[in-house]
Amino acid sequence: MGKGALALLVHGGTENWSPQRWKARFGEVCGDRPVVLLPDPALDPAEVHYAAVWKPKPGELAAFKNLRVIFNLGAGVDALMADRSLPDVPLVRVAVDDLTDRMTEYVVLHVLMHHRQEPYLRESQRVRRWAPKYQWAASALTVGIMGLGTLGAASAHALGALGFRVVGWSRSEKQVVGIRCFHGSDGFDAFLRETNILVCLLPLTPETRHILNRGVFTKLNRTSPLGAPVVINAGRGGLQNEADILRALDDGTLGAASLDVYETEPLPGDSPFWSHPKVVLTPHNAADTDADEISKYVARQIARFEAGEALENVVDRTRGY
Ligand code: NAP
Ligand code: GLV
């Protein structure tokens, strides 16, 4: 019998993220293993040993009775965690430098954008207004990172290297050189009291849903040269209470927000975020997973698994991330 097939289930995606591109890349790295793009009526589900997926519909993986590992083609597994019929096999998420570096670029770009008053400067250019405002030093601001995992820790280091004061918050206790670390619900308020720019890189779980809400915004630090604090969310849309963000921007509780993710994606055309003067909006592409890199990552993991070695970055289903 030949090698068990790798089934590919990819919903949505841009030109660079098309199911056909994923299939071509997996075909290059999987040797003689069959790579099958679903749906494929000719496929015998019993032949499938591995599944590489992005946002499969609930129940779509249940048919594969000989499945050994599920590979999520991204870092966040919230969509999979919502599938009650998900086969009980190891679920591996993406944690690779390529994705981490992209997220670090996004976070540094948006922190600098607010720190360097770019929205004000771009508006000044648009109306031909020569009205410089003092540019304060990075060390005048504290950036608070929610989530000190693969992505949060890398962003924290990059911001620290630029001179920002950095604090971080995680579920379990951590010690990270150069970063003041807080953890758990007991450490949350103290973390918020320090934070001028709040960056959210948490996974979406039952515990973190709507954690970005008015109560949290009112506890952020307002004593820096920025004045009103800023929120940057590149985790998941379900982490934010969108009505609270809009109200906080409108009444000055927040000075600005950079949002990459939304409760409903694509963001509906009538969302007030599109035209809000204090919102810097991107379409959930802070850190894309790249088919070249991730197909190699999955092939490496399958080779490890078949050699009897431990899989990396296996999701803890009880925690939900
Ligand atoms: P990760 O390595 O699993 O890190 C998650 C961090 O969140 C950990 O530090 C964890 O604490 C902390 N955390 C989880 N639940 C918490 C809670 N209830 N209270 C406090 N801290 C909590 O994940 P990652 O690779 O950094 O990715 C984070 C998220 O980024 C993903 O889940 C995904 O949603 C999002 N993402 C977005 C994009 C995009 O393009 N917008 C791209 C990639 C990823 P512990 O360290 O104590 O476990
Ligand atoms: C993207 O949103 C990811 O989770 O990798």
Going by C-alpha positions, the residue among 54, 59, 92 that lies closest to residue 316 is 92
Q: CB of 72 closer than 6 A to ligand 2?
A: no
Instruction: Say how many Å lie between the CA of residue 84 and the centre of ligand 1.
Output: 21
What does the pLDDT read at residue 47?
96
> Fold for domain 5-96+289-306?
Rossmann fold (3.40.50)
Residue, of 210 and 13, whose pLDDT is higher: 210
Q: How far is CA 23 from CA 53, 62, 160, 289, in A?
A: 12, 21, 39, 14
Percent of the chain past pLDDT 90, that is, above it, reads 97
Q: How many residues are listed for the chain in this entry? A: 321
CA distance 200 to 234: 6
What does the pLDDT read at residue 17?
86
Percent of the chain past pLDDT 70, that is, above it, reads 99
What does the pLDDT read at residue 13?
66
Q: What is the mean pLDDT of residues 267-285?
A: 97
Q: Which pLDDT tens digit goes with each residue over 191-247? A: 999 999 999 999 999 999 999 999 999 999 999 999 999 999 999 999 999 999 999
What 3-state class would DSSP assign to 142? strand
> Across the strands, what pairs with 6?
35, 50
Q: Give the closest residue (by CA) to ligand 2 atom 5.
A: 74
Q: CB of 77 closer than 6 A to ligand 2?
A: no
Q: Which pLDDT tens digit goes with each residue over 119-141? A: 999 999 999 999 999 999 999 99
What does the pLDDT read at residue 280?
98
From the CA of 316, the nearest ligand is 1
Q: Which pLDDT tens digit goes with each residue over 61-94? A: 999 999 999 999 999 999 999 999 999 999 999 9
Going by C-alpha positions, the residue among 174, 126, 113, 165 that lies closest to residue 147 is 174
CA distance 16 to 289: 10
What does the pLDDT read at residue 1?
52
CA distance 169 to 158: 16
What lines the ligand 1 site, CB under 6 Å?
74-76, 95, 103, 147-152, 169-172, 201-205, 207-208, 234-236, 260-261, 284, 286-287, 321
The answer, yes or no, to whether residue 12 has pLDDT greater than 80, is no
Q: Which tokens hold the place of 265?
A: 């994606």
The answer, yes or no, to whether residue 143 has pLDDT greater than 60, is yes
Q: Which pLDDT tens digit goes with each residue over 153-174? A: 999 999 999 999 999 999 999 9
* Distance from chain centroid for Cα 100: 10
The answer, yes or no, to whether residue 181 has pLDDT greater than 70, is yes
What does the pLDDT read at residue 2?
79
> Fold for domain 99-281?
Rossmann fold (3.40.50)
Q: Which pLDDT tens digit goes with each residue over 87-119? A: 999 999 999 999 999 999 999 999 999 999 999
User: Which H or E run includes 113?
Assistant: helix 97-115
Residues labelled as active-site residues: 236, 284
Q: Which tokens hold the place of 157?
A: 């280091």
Model confidence band, residue 44 (pLDDT cutoffs 50, 70, 90): very high
What does the pLDDT read at residue 11?
85
Q: Say if residues 321 and 205 touch (Cβ distance below 8 Å).
A: yes
Segments of the chain assigned to CATH 3.40.50.720:
5-96+289-306, 99-281
The answer, yes or no, to whether residue 15 has pLDDT greater than 80, is no
Q: Say if residues 151 and 127 touch (Cβ distance below 8 Å).
A: no
Q: Say if residues 121 and 131 touch (Cβ distance below 8 Å).
A: no
CA distance 160 to 139: 9
Question: What DSSP character marks residue 41?
Answer: T
